[in-house]
Amino acid sequence: MVGTLLFIDDLLSFYNGIPLRYCLDNESDLKTYPDISQAASDTSRRIFVSVKGCLSLIIILYIILLVILFGYECFRCFINHKTNLNSANE
């Protein structure tokens, strides 16, 4: 599941990079990010980039969820484990 989402994210990043590279190579007067956005994309591409940003956010949240679940399972495995930290002093 995560691998598929990452692959889709890679394809979308590549697709967005093509017109961006074209604009940066052909127009030298671009100074700010809004100028670059205006030159590189029309309205449909901006919506596309917004959807890609949401997809990236979903991937990040999914990875955080997996880390939390893994930590909880590790805690459950070692909940009855008792350690004696004072054994070196005896």
pLDDT in tens, 32-80: 777 777 776 677 777 777 787 788 888 889 889 989 988 888 877 777 7
Q: Domain extents for the chain? A: 2-78
What confidence tier does 7 reach under pLDDT thresholds 50, 70, 90? confident
Q: Provide the residue type at 42 as one letter.
A: D
Which tokens sit at 17? 């990079």
| Residue of 85 and 54 predicted with greater confidence | 54
Tokens 């805690």, residue?
75
Residues in the chain: 90
**What residues have CB less than 8 Å from 15, skipping those under 6 apart?**
none
d(CA 52, CA 17): 13
